[in-house]
Structure 1
Amino acid sequence: MRAAARLGVLALVLAVLAGVPFFGGPSWERPLIDLLTLAALASLWNLLAGYAGLASFGQQAYLGIGAYTLYLAAAQGLDPQLAVPLAALAAGLVALPVSFPLLRLSGGHFAIGSWVLAEVFRLAATLQGGNTGLSLPGAGRHEPLVRQAMTYWWALGVAACAVGGVLLLVRGRYGLSVRAVAGDPVAAAACGVRVARTRRIAYCAAAVGTGAVGAVLFADTLYVQPESIFNVQYSVSMMFMVLIGGIGTVTGPLIGALVFFALQQTLSGYGPWYLVLLGIMAVAMTMFAPRGIRGLRDA
């Protein structure tokens, strides 16, 4: 009964959010796009670090792949609003072969390796198109209000799929396997868990979702630049949200995304001090509430 009630509340929330373009308009859509993409990124990074034990500093690689795939599809005449799934698919196709050498690493070596990978993609994008950036072809296919509403719906859909997908993965048999791998991969392998396959599923799933987010960000801003889309700050922000909200939980990253979004809105005018305050908060939470805000409720 409680599960049915929760599903009903969730469906109501999604219905209200889906109706924002009709009763809220651009003034609501603009900040909500930011919040929804943050929630998606936090959930996807939590799948890697919180469940699979893979702390990545290179998820911006798939943001960039998603954004540049959207550009290539639009340059061939495809409506950019219809190319978001292609961007997600491209990120997954790149992640699959990359995962074989990268997942041989673990711990700090994996974190550094993932960051190096992102830098390789950044350099490749810079060499191909320069560092001046690219505008999204075909953005004028739709009226500005319609285009922003469609982008908002994509952001909502990607966030819902990211959170729902992670929930489905970790609540089933795969969830038991991935937790075992994160805790002790040697013991997990001895119990019959296919460690490499388990980690690969998490890595590729996170890449697919992150690629979709990259496409949504490009569709929203209409401009992409290697230095910005491949910026390691994205991965740092993901880590911050997950640690603040509660790593290894489904709702923790959502709480962290809300906190991070609120801090962005209130502190961004303080320049570099904004980043200093975020750092102080992250250190304080790690020291005094290592399980995050979500963990305080269970304490």
Structure 2
Amino acid sequence: MAITGASVSAAPTPMPSVLRLGIQAARAGPCATPSSSTPASLAALAKHLAGRLRLSVELCPFADTTAAATALAKGSVDLALLTPATWPIVNGRGRPILTLRPQGALPRSPILAVTRATAGPLTAAAIAARRVITVKHDALGYDAARAAVATHGGDAINRQPSTAVGSFSAALATLAAGKADVALVPTDLWFVGCGASKTVCAPYRIAWQNRPIAQHAWVLRGGLPDELRYRLIGIFIALPLDNPQAFAGAAGGVRGAFEPTEASALDAGGKGR
């Protein structure tokens, strides 16, 4: 007897038996498991991933990130380190999953552009043309706020002065007095400052929000299971402690830490939201 109205869940995407890892090399070549000529750090990375994921790992050498992005878009490589310039080649057929924050580098914290409520939405370029203030949230807050605008098309902000005020309430007061057009503030300050009272932030609006574009990100090919993405994120984050040599291979010898990232991390065309 047929059962009507019953829903059938789609079968989960199976884990691959091979993970093809795109790497930078002096000469391009076919994907292959590590050999005696493979740099020790990359061989350690392949071995570590294979052991943790319980699958075979092949290294796919490319001369540059353009070739790696093209291969990922065609489905001939599964994971590659790409840049904002090469990200458009992927054209939706992959997702950034990890960024590397070099030691001492600015955090990619979300930044809000706050204006008076009567103002309309802004682009990064429009923000750079306004009178901008920032909040002295922490030692890196000023530079991080300007970097968020600059990397999304508002690079003119780096060529003009910007006043830093001492607190979130001072920023709102400066906007209210008409002494500035835009206040760049970290997301947490907005929610903490506005959460205590519904009326405090009523005269203001968020006209733009974004975070600095990542310089590099590991991009996972589309169509692969979410389980693989989550496991890769966990493995890469733990690399500095679990396997420093493998971390050196994944980070290109740069000291720092891997961080999980948003899908738009490399999107240089982002206009904020």
Q: TM-score, normalised by structure 2?
A: 0.26
More strand by share: 2
Larger radius of gyration, structure 1 or 2? 2
